[in-house]
Chains A and B, each alone.
Chain A
Amino acid sequence: MDRNQISKWLKNPGKMAHKYSFHVVYFCTGCGIIEIPPSITTRWDAERFGIIPVATPRQANLFLITGYVSTKTLKAIIRTYEQMPEPKYTVAFGSCPINGGMYYDSYNTITSLDKYIPVDGYIAGCMPRPEAVFIGVTHLWKLIDMDKADGYKRYREDYVHYRANQEQLYGQMDWPPLFPVEKKEQANL
């Protein structure tokens, strides 16, 4: 692990600090939540990588979406994502957030999560085991190094479109837009 390469730390402490102190916010969106407790307790111990679960999105920088996303839960996911401070990363488990997976034809499951909030990475497996989660985290490190994990930048720039998608799905949202949305350029196909 490149944790103790002093040169990397000196060059860019903020990015390195982000890599080695993920404060994770996850809540029981889907069936993958059962994989999280073993990953933070004795056998697999996520705290080795500095990963600690935190209660509020305000203190978090990694958002784990564990499993299929139903229409009701998506509202909570969007709200939580918007409440996280800026350099934030999202990782989704399994294939359900990608294209609806097994529930592709269910009337209340979102087929692709990427239309509503930016997702930085997916971990394959119909609920990946804790080892797979840690491998996913190491990949996220590489993405951060290469500045590829820019989900939050995309969300800020294309917020108009994300908001339009959300409003198209829900009609009228319960909270005002996060970033100012100019009415004129809101193009809905």
Chain B
Amino acid sequence: MVSLKEKLLSDFEGLKIDDREADRLFIDTQKEAVLSLLSYLKKAGYNHLAMVSCTDWIDEGKFELVYIVNAYLSGDQVFGKKEKKCIVIRTKISRQSARFMTVMEIFENAEPYEREMHEMFGIDFEGHPRLTPLMLERDYKIPPFRKDFDTLNYVNNTFGKIPSIEQRKEGLK
């Protein structure tokens, strides 16, 4: 029985696979290979996209997008029981004008995650039908989850600027 790792290595090139952990397989890849890798894994039985998240490596000037897929119906999986429970795919995109393709054709439920990435990090997903704001009510010049967004001075500039009632009354007199 060929293990998933060898199969991946044979089918794709330029993958760095780390399977030291018991039930998780980490794959680092270029951004072009992500879509084909995801559809390959979906066909292989990992049909549930559990999470899409992003970390901001500001000193490298890169966003790292992380896709976690796992297998709900592990029974009919091609590679048998002993395979890994979930697979984490990591890829790095440049930070300046952050753009990436949407994975909604493969995984329909990626829609809110990508909207959140767009709102919080400012990543633009081409092909996403509704990139409207998900949670935030106000608009921020720099998306708030970016490292260069200085929350303390933002708080001082907005809430700090609003005077207390007594100050307003003295200001009035």
Contacts and interface: CB of A to CB of B under 8 A. Distances in A.
Interface of A: 71-72, 100, 104-108, 110-112, 114-115, 118, 154, 158, 161-162, 164-165, 168-169, 185, 187, 189
Contact of B155 (A111, A154, A168, A185): A111
B160 interface: yes
By DSSP majority rule, is chain B's interface helix, strand, loop, or mixed? helix
B75 interface: no
A169 B158 contact: yes
A168 B165 CA distance: 13
Given A154-B165, A189-B171, 14 more contacts: A100-B155, A104-B155, A105-B151, A105-B155, A107-B144, A112-B164, A114-B164, A115-B165, A162-B165, A169-B159, A169-B162, A187-B171, A189-B167, A189-B168
Given A115-B162, A162-B165, A107 B140 contact: yes
B27 to A, nearest CB: 34
A109 to B, nearest CB: 8
B130 interface: no
Contacts, number: 60
Contacts of A72: 137
Contact of A187 (B140, B151, B159, B168): B168
Nearest to A155: B165
Contacts of B152: 105
Nearest to A114: B164
A110 B164 CA distance: 13
Interface in B3-49: none
Interface string B133-157: 0001110100010000101101100
Contacts of B162: 115, 165, 168-169
B2 interface: no
A110 B168 contact: no
Contacts of B138: 71, 108
B168 A164 contact: yes
9 contacts: A71-B137, A105-B151, A106-B155, A107-B140, A107-B154, A111-B155, A115-B163, A164-B168, A165-B165
